[in-house]
A = this chain, B = another copy of it.
Amino acid sequence: MTGQRQDPIQSAVENWRIAGWGDAASGMALVTSIMRAQQLLSAEVEGRLRPHGLSFARFELLRLLAFSKKGMLPMGVVGRRLQVHPASVTSAVVRLERDGHVSRRRSTTDGRMVLVAIEDSGRTVVDAATNDLNEVFRSIPLMPAEIESVYDALRSFRATAGDFDLEDPDGST
């Protein structure tokens, strides 16, 4: 992707104002910026994961299992924690199982519940991949205060979208 003098999103903001949509311009700029930042970050993250044979979705799944106490979780819990559809969890698990990084088993206490467990090979690959991704995470070209203000605003946005319950600031409920 070649650089260019003008910021295309800033140009869009000016076009929006000229068209008489000034009251929607900052929201348009925000949405478009987030989509563009996601593209740039996703390309970098997926590039770092490719040598490990992982996508970001499969990395997140292995990382979650590696952090879990018993190294295994019910499929439904994985979907809720990663905020992805059950079909996406299944598709990631099938691929990770094929690569020998996880295995599926029935719960011994509830035969209807399917558990996914991380294998030694999964732990090895996810630790190596985490080292590489942490290099990306440490070198975000923004000041700590900028990172914090973006994170805080997006956290409030995610809460409003229903991703989780914000704690009551009074602690009264």
Contact = CB atoms under 8 A, between A and B. Distances in A.
Interface of A: 1-12, 15, 19, 21, 23-31, 33-42, 45, 56, 63, 67, 80-83, 130, 133-134, 136-142, 144, 146-165
A35 B42 contact: yes
**Stoichiometry (number of copies):** 2
A1 B162 contact: yes
Given A33-B155, A165-B5, A147 B21 contact: no
Contacts of A146: 149, 152-153, 156
A163 B3 CA distance: 5
Nearest to A42: B35
Contacts of A152: 146
